[in-house]
Homo-oligomer: A and B are copies of this chain.
Amino acid sequence: MTDKQSFSEKTALVANWQNLQRIFIRPETEESRAVLVKYMEQILFGLHDFLRKHVGITKEASLKKLSEQFTDSRINVNPVKKLADVIRGIIEDIAPHAVNVASPYFIGHMTSAIPFFMVHLQTIVAALNQNPVKLETSKIVSALERQVLAKIHRRIYNQNEAFYNEHIQQPDSTFGSFVEDGTLANLTALWVARNFFFKPRPGFAGVEKEGMMAACQAYGIERCVVLVSQLAHYSLRKAGGVLGIGNTNILPIEVDANNTINLDKLKSAVQAIQKNDPKTKILALVGIAGATETGTVDPLPKIAELCAEHKIHFHVDAAWGGPTLLSEKYRSLLSGIEKADSVTIDGHKQFYMPMSCGMVYFKDPHIMDVVAYHAAYINRPGSVDLGIRSLVGSRAATSLILKSALEIMGTEGYALLIDHGIETARAFAEEIQKRPLFELVTRPQLNILTYRIFPEPIRKEWDAADTQKRKALTERLNNINIIVQRLQREAGKSFVSRTTLRRAGREDTVVLRSVIMNPMTTMEIIREILDEQEHIYHSQFAIQA
């Protein structure tokens, strides 16, 4: 291939057969290889150099104006760009208006910087392009995935060596599965719980085959329910909707002052259903290990006891908190998780993997049999195809990323990140308590905290106010916090998110929410972010004493 025929030439647009074939052929010449490598360099550093220059979450530009660039709904007939143009376009036109989730000033969501090597690992997955749905499109990667599942399973459940030796490469055993994200992991867990509950009985082939109507009739009930803390992720409601359980049957239980599920209320709810409501059955109780809004961990050992007592499926949503198990210092925060029948963990959260990787684990390596599917051309009974017990079919070999990341980081490497997040969040909370403008709303248990602007003058009014007056004051506070959060986001330097906490007997409270997972987020940066919030507040609201 001469220079003239290289990828960088205008002539290399692909809509003729010769050029088209070229993009499928491994380049043989030094020149053509060099061009492809150069593109990777641009991607690695062109994008990152931009991000370095723009420390804020995104360059200012209204969404409406941005959207106007994306209104052509026709697909170009002829090629309009080459790879070089695409890369340049993304660096110049897209990246500046994307969100710089890697900024240490971006502490509003569960998305953060990822280690450099993760980009390489994702590239490997794309270059190999294996599909773990079946052995015939993945082979060794299927065996590798089984190992990764076992490694995380062992961290959660800590069964003995013999147990893992028996099941790790045994095709009939399933420790869990990789899915797109935590939503699908929670969905898978409740799918399994539902099918396990409504198992076949004489005259009934099981809920998977016959559906929920027939299942309820066969079991003589009107509905089944799942009990969760009111702080549960909305994906659990969605799972209830999808599975035909009904999302209003995902019953929210009030939380304690520390934002974990109120055990008395949970117990009462379980007892009330079991005693007084023979037409309702409890499918599962869910404990949260790292609530999305507050980072709090439910009392898992107590929920486990309750589940054991009443023979109810115990699911733990550790999408966020799961990797805390890699920290010797803080893993005890998740005590009780080993009693769960199923556990959700996200790879793209605290395993610092690229978007996206969800995982669900099951204590019993045979429980996923209740969701097994076969077909004539793959996933045949007795085969080792991983697609037999899986919500999803075709998928990327993300297990290869996690396996490699564990080798590069070790539990110690991950522990450093986890410990930094938890300890920085605690220092953050202390800093908030030192500043008179702020109120700490939820104390960080893991590495998430919420707080709000609660100015001195309003505090004084608050103390003297009756219920009616407090309602009005809360509205004022909510409004202040909404405006400050929005203005800070729009200024484009820092980002904390906001949410609304609903608490029994109190008005809905708008809070600022911070998630500390970027190791570059130092206390200096946090103080800058708080300074900026104070500055915005003072410049907008002239209600200071």
Contact across chains for B293 and A244 when beta carbons are under 8 A apart: no
Q: Number of A interface residues, CB 8 Å?
A: 187
A115 within 8 A of B: yes
The 8 Å CB contact of A355, one of B39, B216, B395, is B395
8 A Cβ contacts from A32-58 to B: 33, 36-37, 39-41, 43-45, 47-49, 51-52, 57-58
A381 within 8 A of B: no
Given contacts A223-B213, A393-B182, A404-B86, contact A79 B23 (CB under 8 A): no
Contact across chains for A37 and B39 when beta carbons are under 8 A apart: no
The 8 Å CB contact of A241, one of B136, B209, B495, is B209
Of the candidate stretches A258-266, A473-481, A512-520, A532-540, the one touching chain B is A512-520
Contact across chains for A15 and B409 when beta carbons are under 8 A apart: yes
Contact across chains for B139 and A408 when beta carbons are under 8 A apart: no
Of the candidate stretches A91-99, A304-312, A434-442, the one touching chain B is A91-99
Contact across chains for B83 and A244 when beta carbons are under 8 A apart: no
Given contacts A183-B391, A395-B355, contact A249 B211 (CB under 8 A): yes
A 141-166 to B, binary, CB cutoff 8 A, 1 in contact else 0:
10110110011111100000100110
A 205-245 to B, binary, CB cutoff 8 A, 1 in contact else 0:
10111111110100000110000000001110110111111
8 A Cβ contacts from A123-149 to B: 123-131, 134-141, 143-144, 146-147
Find the B residue at minimum CB distance from A79: B410
Contact across chains for B395 and A180 when beta carbons are under 8 A apart: yes
8 A Cβ contacts from A342-360 to B: 346, 348, 354-356, 358
With a cutoff of 8 Å between Cβ atoms, the chain B residues found around residue A500 in the complex are 376-377
With a cutoff of 8 Å between Cβ atoms, the chain B residues found around residue A238 in the complex are 373, 391
A449 within 8 A of B: no
Contact across chains for B83 and A408 when beta carbons are under 8 A apart: yes
Contact across chains for B205 and A214 when beta carbons are under 8 A apart: no
| SS class, residues of chain A in contact with chain B | helix
Question: Which of A17, A101, A213, A234 has the most CB atoms of chain B within a 10 A radius of its CB?
Answer: A213
Q: How far is the CA of A57 from the CA of B184 in the complex (A)?
A: 32
Given contacts A79-B410, A211-B244, A412-B79, contact A377 B497 (CB under 8 A): yes
Q: How far is the CA of A209 from the CA of B529 in the complex (A)?
A: 41
Q: How far is the CA of A16 from the CA of B416 in the complex (A)?
A: 7
Question: Which of A41, A44, A82 has the most CB atoms of chain B within a 10 A radius of its CB?
Answer: A44
Question: Which of A124, A139, A153 has the most CB atoms of chain B within a 10 A radius of its CB?
Answer: A124
A8 within 8 A of B: no
A445 within 8 A of B: no
Known: A33-B45, A118-B126, A242-B242. 19 other contacts (CB 8 A): A13-B410, A25-B520, A26-B48, A63-B384, A70-B143, A71-B165, A73-B150, A90-B124, A90-B400, A94-B128, A97-B140, A98-B128, A126-B354, A136-B497, A213-B222, A243-B243, A244-B244, A358-B394, A377-B513
Could you write out 29 A-B pairs with CB less than 8 Å apart? Answer: A13-B408, A14-B413, A21-B519, A24-B113, A24-B520, A26-B45, A70-B169, A71-B165, A75-B151, A75-B410, A77-B410, A79-B413, A98-B139, A99-B138, A131-B348, A136-B489, A136-B497, A183-B391, A207-B244, A208-B246, A211-B244, A212-B244, A233-B375, A234-B373, A235-B393, A242-B243, A293-B376, A346-B394, A356-B395
